[in-house]
Amino acid sequence: TLSGCTGLGLTPSLPNSTTLQNGVFYLEPANCNPTPGKDFEMELKVSSIEDLKGYSVVLSYDPAVLKLVEIAEGPCLSEGNETFFWKKIDLAKGTIQIDCAILGTEISAYGEGSLATLYFTALLTKGDTGVNFAQTQIRDIHNQPILATQESARIRCK
């Protein structure tokens, strides 16, 4: 049986499966108005996903407006499972790379949930920036690509 991102399950093996599923990778909140000098959180989330085994995402933002403080793995893939979670942060360029995969065979996730939480500080300058998907690779249990829509976020410092 399959289970949702709030739980994981065994996925039946489908021989020669090349079906591309659909899903949505998005940032929440989609619009945010933090006060300069204050910290705020943003979640990388997924919805309407089937058979998710792993992902690699590169996000970009304006480092003159935001400073990334930390990234924490969300429960979508890790709850009840061992995962590989890797992050690379380039504060000067304003890029974030997050890679995550469920370890083990025949285990995947579906549904919706939180993949990661990003902790930012709004810098003392006023301005706005997108937190945009620069690159996204999503794979199913058979290492086949999963098609997904990406929905970026807009940050406007007051």
- Beta strands, E only, 36-142: 39-60, 66-73, 83-90, 95-102, 107-122, 127-140
- Res 8: pLDDT: 45
Residues 6+ apart with CB under 8 A from 130: 60, 61, 62, 152, 153, 154, 155
- Res 5: pLDDT: 66
Mean pLDDT of the chain: 87
pLDDT at 21 over 90: no
Quote the CA–CA distance of 55 and 146 in Å, as a whole number: 9
Tens digits of per-residue pLDDT, 117-157?
999 999 977 788 999 999 999 999 999 999 889 999 998 87
Quote the CA–CA distance of 132 and 62 in Å, as a whole number: 10
Tens digits of per-residue pLDDT, 36-85?
899 999 999 999 999 999 999 999 999 999 999 999 999 999 998 999 99
